[in-house]
Structure 1
Amino acid sequence: MNKELIINSTAHGVEIALLEDKKLVELHSEKTDARFAVGDLYLGKVKKLIPGLNAAFVDVGFEKDAFLHYTDLSPYAKSLLKFTQQTINDKSPEGLDFGQFQVEPEIIKTGKINEVLGGKPNILVQILKEPIAAKGPRLSCEISLPGRFVVLTPFNDIVAVSRKIHSSEERKRLQRIVESIKPKNFGVIVRTAAEGKNTAELHEDLSELTDMWKTIQTNLHGAVAPTKILSEQTKTTSILRDLLNEDFNRIVTNDKGIYADAKSYIQRVAPEKAEIVAFHQNGAPIFDTFGITKQVKASFGKTVNLNSGAYLIIEHTEALHVIDVNSGYKSVSNNQEQNALETNLEAAEEIARQLRLRDIGGIIVVDFIDMKLPDNKKKLVEYMEEFMRPDRAKHAVLPISKFGLMQITRQRMKPEMNINTQEVCPTCNGTGKIASTLILEDEIEKNLNYLITHKHRNLTLNVHPIVYAYLTKGWLWSRAAKWKRKFRQNIILTADNNYHLTEFRFFDHNGEEIKM
């Protein structure tokens, strides 16, 4: 698969588009004034304990206090609390030696929030979900520092290898390497990208993450809650970190700073792919050049059209998203069942793309076209799972119910990407109705009568070109000619393409508009 990353830098932030075989599948937006990002670390102050929810509200500097549930505390919450207090109050010039830190016993899974956070202490937390609507951020105490090949998790000694590495020999090799190089009091999760990497590459990645932990310790020293301790890398760098693989063959940006950062990052993690970074400087907007603007306009809306003539209706309710599949005029055979299957498979591929593109999370209910054969229903579910496999968000696809509905759950990490492709009609103001031409003609004549009665002379009337053609049709008996004879005034008609259909304006002999 051919993957391209197009990065558009603007005055308001950065827009990042991921193309797969020239098709837009992900669109990310990073505003310059964004205050919270997933992965940021904060020193927060526990403000309120809610035993009924088994959760706490934590002040991290947002208008709404952030939410921390007991299940997000991490088994090593007591160790994290102890480390936070010791680091804040540490007086030694060389700082706390994390290798000598005494880890506290794990908390129980079925415990209570006030047993751990009683006294409302300051605690080091990580943003798990960005603020959505009126809600504050969601927090986690399971601190993790992601790198290119490994993820560092403090306060434990566990080494885990990604299940997506299927070779048992490779899994054992990576386990041995990481166990031999990891520092004390750190756990390590080996990512899928580590497959085939040697000890030196893994050690370099691990060293960068341990240096990041030392930075956290330095920033935490003497800190006063609420305050940011460490920012996640920019969204551009984090996407490169998570997505870069052998299929990723082009990165283009219109910003010299991002170009230099991306080039440097790729030279460090994948020197053989450094030439894929390019700087866009031909003057045309970068998203227009790569056809992204056109795809955005075609993909974000209530109705999504498919190549065959079938189409999707995507609607959002308070509790879930609903997607309706319609066949349109598609017909591949005289067999109704086969037509339904072909349309559903085409729709499934587009639905998987739409979920990634709009970053739709929560519960999604899809009403596919009804099929009778169980084998076809099973095939549709299998294809849906296959189409959603590239999606990095956690998701689950449930079998089609007896009502012909498929339920999909998808992890919600941030607000849904929603680009408004509709606007209120300037002619009808959203009512769906406009004045008929006959009524419009009467309205113009009534205004003419008023202006001439009030001694206005040599009037100019500006109208839409279609109305202009209607009013001037016929030389002797046109409506404009009738008005001239009726009011015994020279009335000049002009057409303006910028007017909507029922808009008209009067101007005096000096060219100044007459407000009615």
Structure 2
Amino acid sequence: MKQMIVNCEPKFTQMALIEEGKLIEFATERSQSESLVGSFYKGKVVNVLPGMQAAFVDIGHKKNAFLYVDDVLHPHLEKQPKIKPSIEELLKVGQEVVVQVMKESLRGKGPRVTTHYSLPGRWVVYMPISDYVAVSKKIQRESERTRLKILCEQMRFRGEGIIVRTVSQDEPREAIQGDLNFLRAQWELIQERANQAEAPSLLHRDLSIVQRLIRDVLDPIQDELVINNAKEANEAEAYLSEMSNGIHIPVKVYHAAESIFKAYGILEQLDKGLSRKVTLSSGGTIVWDHTEALTVIDVNTSKYTGEYSLEETVTLTNLQAAEEIARLIRLRDVGGIIVIDFIDMEQEVNRQSVVEILESVMKKDRAKSQIVGWTKLGLLELTRKKVREDTSVMFDKTCDSCSGTGRINVITIH
């Protein structure tokens, strides 16, 4: 059972997801700057850069959006030309194009957009021009994978693409068909608006943070949803009812004077989880550092001395750290390249156990990730899809004295 705790404030909405008493996901959406990811725009090409194989598109925001050549070619790899054409052959300055935001503006860069359109539903992701069916790898039963693939092949029109989500496992045809029909209607509406609108203009905005997370992570029957705002709770109940074919699913409204996050122990877990140094229950520590290019995580035994041998002490610390790191990567919403400096282990079987623990916990994460493997220096490399700014960065402020170096220069020159 999971608990989704929502804190609604005038200037922002925050969501915390708890599983087995542990905080596993946290997200904030500011009222004045709603998330762009998933939104559709009719934009105008303002610059084409053959040297970067990319174009900049005006979508009506302060910074122009970045459109890479791979996001202009057909989304189905088998339908792409063997030799990649120049971006100049595909786009011209002044050309109007419908794009979808795939990444928020990060570190001064504009949002990244694509023409590989996708509309996520409860059971499937609808891709109007992708021309293939894929089934979530997390559905492991082969007979069920085959059933869902055949089902969606029968449902889709020529040229359409469908990704079957994990929650579709064992769902009846009627539920999946209803989801697909709704998403098809959304796409038709987007096309109608695109035909009438002048560029740049917004054509479709994705759901609110609460609705997105209800759609993506909440089991309406088993999980608990708690909101500290009656109006938002009513809207959530309406969305749950729509998603559950008219079944009324109550949402708990929190009324107490104490902060909802404090009452559910979220503030304490956030404070520990977003710290630079995180202490494990054994006494070991995990230290996090962020650079422009990657996130570096260092594992130490610290106060944990073990009982029998150095190899056992190190391995137990690493196993505990691997489980906690996987949880915190999701909680912090860390994206891009991640390098973990586990404590050196002599036995290959122990190294493999650490990777297996990391993989098993990261499978629960909705964001796509890949464990690349060990380097010659004994570092573990992995990547995670980056869509938004890391959660920990949102709560940081660059130091006026050290400008983010972590050190203050105390040298006085006379």
> May I ask how many residue pairs the two structures share in their alignment?
401
Partner of 1:298: 272
Aligned counterpart, 1:235: 209
Deviation at 1:265, TM superposition (A): 2.2
Counterpart check, 1:112 vs 2:86: yes
The structure-2 alpha-carbon separation of the partners of 1:315 and 1:76, relative to structure 1 and needing over 3 Å to count, comes to closer
Look up the match of 1:50: 49
Question: In the alignment, what sits opposite 2:101?
Answer: 127
- The answer to whether the aligner puts 1:209 opposite 2:209 as a matched pair is no
Is the 1:321–1:365 contact (alpha carbons within 8 Å) kept by the matching residues of 2? yes
Distance in 2 of aligned mates of 1:369 and 1:306: 14
**Post-superposition offset of 1:381:** 1.4
1:5-404 alignment, distance < 5 Å: 5-75=4-74, 110-245=84-219, 249-270=223-244, 274-275=248-249, 277-404=251-378
The Cα offsets for residues 217-272 of structure 1, whole Å up to 9 and x where unpaired, read as 23223211111000011121111111123895111001122211221222233369
| AA aligned opposite 1:68 | L
Deviates more, 1:344-353 or 1:171-180: 171-180
Is the 2:326–2:361 contact (alpha carbons within 8 Å) kept by the matching residues of 1?
yes
Question: What secondary structure does 2:299 align onto?
Answer: strand
Identity of matched residues, %: 35
**Larger of the two Rg values belongs to structure:** 1
- The Cα shift of 1:184 comes to 5.0
Tell which deviates more after alignment, 166-175 or 128-137.
Answer: 166-175
Cross-structure match for 1:498:
none
Q: Which runs of 5+ in 2 are unaligned?
A: 402-406
Q: How has the CA–CA distance of structure 1 residues 114 and 421 changed in structure 2, closer, same or farther, with 3 Å as cutoff?
A: closer
Change in 2 beyond 3 A, CA 1:168/1:139: same
Q: Distance in 2 between matches of 1:52 and 1:240?
A: 42
* Structure 1 position 283, deviation (Å): 2.2
- Unaligned stretches of 5+ in structure 1? 78-104, 434-516
Which secondary structure does the structure 1 equivalent of 2:325 belong to? helix
Contact kept? 2:371, 2:383, Cα under 8 Å: yes
Aligned counterparts of 2:272 and 2:75: Cα–Cα separation in 1: 48
Q: For 2:26 and 2:212, how far apart are their aligned partners in 1?
A: 14
Give the conservation status (yes or no) of the 8 Å contact 1:395–1:408: yes
Q: The residue matched to 1:399 in structure 2 has which SS?
A: strand
Q: CA RMSD in A?
A: 2.6
Query: Which residue identity is paired with 1:23?
Result: K
In 1, the alpha carbon distance for the partners of 2:353 and 2:229 equals 45
Partner residue of 1:406? 380
Q: 1:183: Cα distance to partner?
A: 4.2
Residues 24 and 36 (structure 1 numbering): CA distance in 2 closer, same or farther, change over 3 Å?
closer
* Aligned partners of 2:74 and 2:130 also within 8 Å: no
The higher-RCO structure (CA 8 Å, 6+ apart) is 2
Q: CA deviation at 1:420?
A: 3.7
The aligned counterpart of 2:404 is none
* 1:491 alignment counterpart: none
- SS in structure 1 of the partner of residue 97 of structure 2: strand
Tell me which residue corresponds to 1:462.
none
> Residue 348 of structure 2 aligns to which amino acid in structure 1?
P
Residues 278/166 of structure 1: CA separation in 2 closer, same or farther (3 Å cut):
same
Please give the alpha-carbon distance, in whole angstroms, between the structure 2 residues aligned to 1:109 and 1:276: 55
| Deviation at residue 334 of structure 1 after TM alignment | 2.9
| AA at the equivalent of 1:216 | I
Distance 1:75 1:215, change over 3 A: same
TM-score between both structures, scaled by the size of structure 1? 0.72
* Cα distance in 2 between the residues matched to 1:170 and 1:320: 38
Shift of 1:76: 6.7
Q: In structure 2, how many angstroms separate the alpha carbons of the residues matched to 1:321 and 1:342?
A: 23
Query: Hey, what's the Cα distance between the residues in 2 that align with 1:247 and 1:370?
Result: 45
CA deviation string 1:156-214 (max 9, x = no partner): 54333333323333233323333343345533222222221222212211121122122
Alpha-carbon distance in 1 for matches of 2:173, 2:215: 19
Paired residue for 1:94?
none
- Which residue identity is paired with 1:42? Y
